[in-house]
Amino acid sequence: MNMSTSTDRLTPLTREQLQFYKDNGYLILRKSASDDLIDAFNAHIRSIRLSEDMPEWAKPRRGQDVVEDKDRFSLRLFNPHLHDGFAKQMMKLPVIRGALAQLLGDEAAGVQSMYFYKEPGAPGQAAHQDYYYIRNEPNSLTAAWVAMEYTDEENGCLYVIPGSHKIGILPHGKVKNLEEHEAWTDEVEGVDLSREAAVVLDKGDILFFDSLLIHSSTRNRSKRWRRSYVCHYIRHDSKIEREDLKKKYSLE
């Protein structure tokens, strides 16, 4: 990938924020995407899901037609940036590009995107480290989790263990609490999860986190959705193992 190290990108992070990220493995940039932009993207995804001939990539369940109308606004869209221009532009937000370049020391490239509806009643994801799922060398994997609406403990916000990115990669096993978490993922083992702290975000806030940070989310116990757009990035010169995520998207 031919990527110049351009100097015209944003540098949104202060020295204090960079130090906070180094110490804690995560960082919140408040109100970093405008309400207008978030509303437009939510409406765009909604229109894709409302379409009578919904493309295969956008379906809540691959290979299955939508049976009930409420299913149109459920689960997630996996890797919409591969198929949809708006989703790709949201992956490339200048503030994200700039922050990642500061965090990683060089230009980042996008490798994965997920738009979550997390509808009322939907389970969360058990505690894990993203590097367990997305191996890359040298490891520079970083997430940008954009709140597409207000998210708190009630509608299934993210929880993190501050500083846990310093422990290194840990073994993962079967999910323990199936009441709370999806069964198809794995759960980190040998960690005191009582240290997890809720990350309450407003619409347009962006949470950046390290691939070794232990994080999870809880079931949505509210009557609201918990929409989020979560993209994963690596430094442009890191190499990724998974075939399905091999395509790197320049953020320029």
Q: Which residue has its beta carbon closest to ligand AKG? A: 217
- Residue of 84, 107, 119, 130 that binds ligand AKG (CB under 6 A): 130
* 155 interacts with ligand AKG by CB under 6 A: no
161 CB-contact burial (10 Å; exposed 0-12 / middle 13-18 / buried 19+): buried
What would the two tokens of residue 24 be? Answer: 């804690």
* 74 interacts with ligand AKG by CB under 6 A: no
* 217 interacts with ligand AKG by CB under 6 A: yes
- Residue of 27, 175, 214, 230 that binds ligand AKG (CB under 6 A): 230
Q: How many chain residues touch ligand AKG (CB under 6 A)?
A: 10
- Residue of 102, 164, 220, 228 that binds ligand AKG (CB under 6 A): 228
Least Å distance between CB 7 and ligand AKG?
31
* 165 interacts with ligand AKG by CB under 6 A: no
Among the residue ranges 13-21, 53-61, 103-111, 124-132, the one whose residues contact ligand AKG (CB under 6 A) = 124-132
- Residue of 32, 42, 125, 140 that binds ligand AKG (CB under 6 A): 125
Distance (Å, whole) CA 74 – CA 49? 10
CB atoms within 10 A of CB 114: 17
* 116 interacts with ligand AKG by CB under 6 A: yes
Q: Residue 37: what are its φ and ψ, rounded to 5°?
A: -65, -45
Distance (Å, whole) CA 144 – CA 208? 5
* 144 interacts with ligand AKG by CB under 6 A: no
Decide: helix, strand or coil at residue 151: strand
95 CB-contact burial (10 Å; exposed 0-12 / middle 13-18 / buried 19+): middle
| Cα 204–Cα 208–Cα 81 angle in degrees, nearest 5 | 70
- Nearest to ligand AKG of 107, 130 (CB atom): 130
Of 74, 7, 3, the C-alpha closest to 45 is 74
Decide: helix, strand or coil at residue 70: helix
Least Å distance between CB 23 and ligand AKG?
21
Of 226, 199, 227, the C-alpha closest to 41 is 227
Going 115 to 87 to 233 to 102, the CA torsion angle's sign is negative
Among the residue ranges 23-31, 44-52, 59-67, 123-131, the one whose residues contact ligand AKG (CB under 6 A) = 123-131
The residue ranges that bind ligand AKG (CB under 6 A) are 116, 124-125, 130, 143, 158, 215, 217, 228, 230
